[in-house]
Amino acid sequence: MRIALFLVTNIAVIAVITIIFSIFGIGDVLDEQGLDLDLGKLLVYSAVIGFTGSLISLAMSKMMAKRSTGCQRIEESSDPDAQWIVSRVRAHAEAAGIGMPEVAVFPAEGPNAFATGMRRDAALVAVSSGLLRSMKREEIDAVLGHEIAHIANGDMITLSLMQGVVNTFVVFLSRIVGHFVDRVILKNERGHGIGYFVASMAAQVLLGILASGIVCWFSRRREFRADEGGARLAGSENMISALERLKAGTSELPDGMAAFGIGGGKMAAFFSTHPPLEVRIEALRDRRN
């Protein structure tokens, strides 16, 4: 399914851009201006850049998560709390039909947790030390179920593919803007001048900001599914109680891990990776009723 999604995503990008250019006749306009811009090659170039970056980030996600948060892997030990956490992750993983993830704790005063990894059967689930101190076992169990649901739903790979799509659009459209400014507005007839590079970079920054909002919107949608998964695995009341506990505040995760945490962010709604906790709690209550 993940490979199929990757192929369909790429086909969809090509189809959408082809249709847009056909409807608005952009290709014909560029040809009339003598801009010799090969849109097909540019699209391939953009897709290679866009998807390569997101897939490399996904492949390195576990390593980067461990290094950026200071995760300490929980091994099988005689400590009863460690044994309990590992046993609950194992039970949730078996119920969700995925391989046993690595389990870790990272130092943080406030409660938070995240899951990451390139494959469903070789993922990482990590909880903060603050979460273990501040939550009851039933609530911790629900948080673990929420993170296992993220893995089972394939959220890490799906989010990376979504990032690859928007990266492709950003690179593709920014190069067209730069080419247009250089050749049509500045009348540069040989190679690409400084206007191309300045306009391309400016467009890439602006489009990148807008694209980030699209990825954040998708991230917010998948949180509801993970909440539902956590409720199925650990009970609706426990999931609601855990989210209520998080309203007191969560620990900040590094920028690259923010989308994979359980808590809400402090950014503006358009760029938030998580819906407001009140909205998530209400959604669970509506589903329960």
Residue 108 tokens read as 């943080």
Q: Which residues, at least 6 apart from 9, have a Cβ–Cβ distance to it below 8 Å? A: 161, 164, 165
252 catalytic? Reply is no
Prediction pTM value: 0.78
Domain ranges of the chain: 1-67+154-289
Of 85-99, 193-207, 263-277, give the range with the top mean pLDDT: 85-99
What one-letter code names the amino acid at 256?
Answer: G
- Percent of the chain clearing pLDDT 90 (strictly above): 31
> For residue 264, is pLDDT > 60?
no
Instruction: Compute the half-sphere exposure of residue 132: CA atoms within 13 Å on the CB side of its CA.
Output: 13
- pLDDT for residue 145 is more than 90: yes
Summary mean pLDDT of the chain:
81
Region 198-226 average pLDDT: 88
Sole residue written with tokens 């998964």: 229
Task: Give CA–CA dist 143/149, Å, rounded.
Answer: 10
Task: Pick the catalytic residue from 32, 94, 109, 147.
Answer: 147
Q: What is the largest CA-CA distance in the chain?
A: 75
Asked if 118 and 62 touch (Cβ cutoff 8 Å), the reply is yes
**Residue 279 has what pLDDT?**
92
Tokens of 228: 């539902």
Distance CA 208, CA 245 (A): 34
Locus of tokens 């206007």: 195
